Structure formats: C-alpha cells, structure tokens
Structure 1
Amino acid sequence: MDLIKLLQREMNQEALTTRKMLSRVPPEKFDWQPHPKSMTLGRLASHVAELPGWVAMVVDTDELDFANNPYEPKDVKNTGELLDYFEDSLKNGKDALNRVNIEQFSEPWTLRNGDQVYSTEPKYDVIRMAHSQVIHHRAQLGVYLRLLNIPIPGSYGPSADDVTF
C-alpha cells in the first residue's frame, strides 16, 4: 500500500473515534477547565475538531507564521456546530490527501512566529504530527469528559464505559 493511502486510511480510522468523542461534549460545560493553565473544554474540543484540516494547510503552504496569521480559535456554540466544524476540517484534510503529490512529502514546512522558527520539517513529518495531535488532544478530551463523569467511547478497543464487569 502506498504512503498516501496509508495516511488516508489512518485519517478515516481516527475520524471514527474522534467523531464519537466530540459528540459527547456538552455545550453547557464548554467553559469548564480542569486547571487554570488548561484549555477550556470547548476550546480543547474545537482544537480537536480543527486538526484534520491542518493536513490541507501543510499540503497547500510552505509555512505557518503566527506573526502574519494570528491564531483565532473557532468559537462553536453547541455540539452540532462542533461536529460540523470537525466534518469540514476532515473534508479539507481528506481532499488535500487526495490531491497531494508524493514528491511534496520531502518539501520543507516551517512553523514560525516572525523571525523565531519553531521547526522546519518535511511535509510528511508534519502531516504525521497532525495525525498524532488528533490522537493526543482527543485523549486529553477523554480525561476532561471522565472528570465531568461523562461516559467516553473506546478508542482502540472498549473503554471502561463500554464494558460491564
């Protein structure tokens, strides 16, 4: 199986769990945060929803410069908007993987804030990092939901909420 098809398959598989997790985020708890240094539940959920779209950003650009493109998190008002945002981001990421040329994977992509360069990596590595970020932040989201006593879906097998002993 070629590399692009592997990335597409991974994106599709992770989307199944991500969609289930995002569907459980209650809008009345969007402002809740487990610690003052933590993102709010709504901000974290919105970040999880946007991450598949990062693949398109990497495919279509050579860098993200926060000095020229200040980050503005999407303000979603309810779970339906959150899921719609995720589906749009997912579609953008899938479309990018459908049009990417394998030769682009070795091209450099830079994350910076003006003159401060955070990283320059091959586009393939950054796409993999975007996939990993979905998994990482989705796991954080699961902890938030657990702390709020909201049943969480399994990711790579059943969760404690899926199994009865």
Structure 2
Amino acid sequence: MDTLAQLKSELDSEYQTTRKFFDIYPDNQNDYAPHEKSMKMKSLANHLADVFEWPNTMLKTSELDFADGDQPVLSSTKEDLLKKLDDNYKSGIDALENAKEEDLDSTWALKYNGNELAKWTKYASIRHSLNQITHHRAQLGVYYRLNDIPLPGSYGPSADIQSF
C-alpha cells in the first residue's frame, strides 16, 4: 500500500474544497464569532490555512511545543488568505512527495511548555491534521451559514449551491 500517495490525494482533495470556501471569504466579517468562546472568523480561517503546512512540520520535526512558537501572522483579506492557503498546501504536499514510507513510522508529539499533550506516529499525526482540516472547514461553514453566505459543496452539492 502506498500510504504517502493516499495522504497526498486526501490533502489535495481537502485543499480543493477549502479553496472553494476561501474564494467566498467575506473580508468584512473578520471579527465575526458566533459565541464569545468561538474564534473570530479571521483567526479560524487562518488556522485552517495553516493546517495545510502541518505535514511538512510533522515530517521534519519530532515535536511541536506551542509555548515555544511565535504567534502566526493573520491574513486579513481574501487574497492574502488564498495565498497563505496556496503556499501552505505547496509546503505540505512537497513534504509528502519527498518523504519515504518509513518516515511515517517515527513518533511526533504535541506539547505545551514541555508537557506532552498527544503523541502519535507521524502517519497518525498527519491523519489527525487532515481531520482538523475537515473540522475547521465545517466550523467556517457554520460561520458562513449564520451570515447568509451560500456554502459551496464539500463532498457533494450543498443546499445552497447545486453543483453536480
């Protein structure tokens, strides 16, 4: 089984779908959040774009400690967000294209201030990031729906845009 080919295919599919969501990103709604505990739309969309780079980070490192990282730069316009998505996708897909199957077997950990939050094989960590893409894009879809922005289809047609 060619696991890397499957991961590349899935990352590409999620990229194509996410790009449709970013194509309709409303610049004037950056500060919208449906609840006080929810991320602002700008932060959510930027986080979603950032996840596409994660395969690169996961394949090149053994861990990520959130306490050590800089705050991400947040894009404020649709054009900047699309560029960020494109660049991060390219980084993630290039890392998968240059990896070997055995690179997926070593472990990768997520930490905060040295405390291990989660630990997986690199394969499982990349699978987790793909799940994060789906999760956060669904959240963005709820934000759009609450702002009467017609949703593009994700895994088929949406109730808003009938595209077969």
1:102 counterpart residue number: 101
Deviations 1:72-122 (A, max 9, x none): 132112000000000000000001001111111110101111231101110
Measure, in 2, the Cα distance between the counterparts of 1:15 and 1:91. Answer: 10
Deviations 1:34-72 (A, max 9, x none): 0010000111111111111011000110000123224x1
TM-score by length of 2: 0.95
Measure, in 1, the Cα distance between the counterparts of 2:42 and 2:137. Answer: 13
Counterpart residue type for residue 10 of structure 1: E
- Give the match's secondary structure for 2:109: strand
- Give the match's secondary structure for 1:64: strand
Measure, in 2, the Cα distance between the counterparts of 1:41 and 1:63. Answer: 28
Q: How does 1:13-162 map to 2 (within 5 A)?
A: 13-70=13-70, 72-162=71-161
* Stretches of structure 1 lacking an aligned partner (at least 5 in a row): none
2:65–2:114 contact (8 Å) kept in structure 1: no
Q: Percent identity?
A: 40
How many aligned positions are there?
163
1:43–1:73 contact (8 Å) kept in structure 2: no
TM-score by length of 1: 0.95
2:33–2:39 contact (8 Å) kept in structure 1: yes
Counterpart residue type for residue 86 of structure 1: L
Measure how far apart 1:16 and its partner are.
1.0
Counterpart residue type for residue 14 of structure 2: E
- Give the match's secondary structure for 1:111: strand
- Give the match's secondary structure for 1:67: helix
